[in-house]
Amino acid sequence: MNRKDFLKSGTLAGAATLLSSNNAFAQNLTDNSIDKLVDANGNFIQQPLPYAENYLEPYMDSETLHLHYTFHHGGATKAANTDLKKIHEAIDTNNLETVDYWTKKLSYHLSSHILHSIFWTNLANKATTPKGDLLKRIDNDFGGYEKLKAYLVQTSKNVDGNGWGILGYQPYTDKLTVLQCENHEKLTQWGVIPLLVIDVWEHSYYLKYKNKRGDFVDALFNIINWDNSAQRLDDAIKLTK
């Protein structure tokens, strides 16, 4: 369901109540409970980090977080605006020679913007575990939290080159699913809504963990905010049912 259809459908009241919780995640959401990635003019914007840069120490050091948020996520956000501008220029001037290039770039940069925006809210300064409906679904779809964790860890650690390990909700099958995403946009299943994303690009760990990606992925499980993933699951089900 797109935003317009969703607003028309009259289920907005249900979604709005989700926003009543006063947390950093809710503050960054639009009224249809999707992460707010654009301003009123449709330009891509980066939300502020939902915590201080040293909040995730020692597992994620503040220098890495600063560089990652400011230059990697920030750079992708700016580049996505350029890509979109170039596409509109090409359409407006009927000069489509390079439009496929910018379309490909937009897929890459916007996917980066989306995943990074989710990633920051997926982290907290304490270890949590899944509860409630999320845990029930993990039990049903993977045979328990430890099994999902082992699967997600293995998938994340073994991404070829740069990419992401992702736990998502697949509305077409009403199941949780794990993706091994390369770069920011490859190897998805159409429709999957990310609930938990693990950035295994070298920029997310190299200052502190050097070449030891595996140590970084293991360490991340000390700061995963499963409550955020649970909220995302609730929203995804409400939006797609």
Residue 206 Cβ, how far from Mn ion at the closest point, in Å?
A: 11
**Per-residue CA distances from 28 to 12, 23, 63, 91 (Å):** 17, 9, 23, 32
Using DSSP's 3-state secondary structure scheme, residue 8 falls into helix
Q: Of the two residues 204 and 231, which places its CB atom closer to Mn ion in the complex?
A: 204
Q: Of the two residues 113 and 137, which places its CB atom closer to Mn ion in the complex?
A: 113
The residue number with the shortest CB distance to Mn ion is 199
Q: Of the two residues 81 and 111, which places its CB atom closer to Mn ion in the complex?
A: 111
Residue 4 Cβ, how far from Mn ion at the closest point, in Å?
A: 31
CA neighbor of 77 nearest in space, from 36, 112, 128: 112
Residue 207 Cβ, how far from Mn ion at the closest point, in Å?
A: 13
Residue 79 Cβ, how far from Mn ion at the closest point, in Å?
A: 13
Q: Which helix (H) or strand (E) element contains residue 197?
A: strand 193-199
Residue 199 Cβ, how far from Mn ion at the closest point, in Å?
A: 4
Q: Of the two residues 33 and 122, which places its CB atom closer to Mn ion in the complex?
A: 122
CA neighbor of 167 nearest in space, from 185, 184, 155: 155
Q: Of the two residues 184 and 232, which places its CB atom closer to Mn ion in the complex?
A: 184
Give contact residues for Mn ion (rule: CB under 5 A): 72, 199, 201, 204
Which residue is it, tokens 């992708």?
76
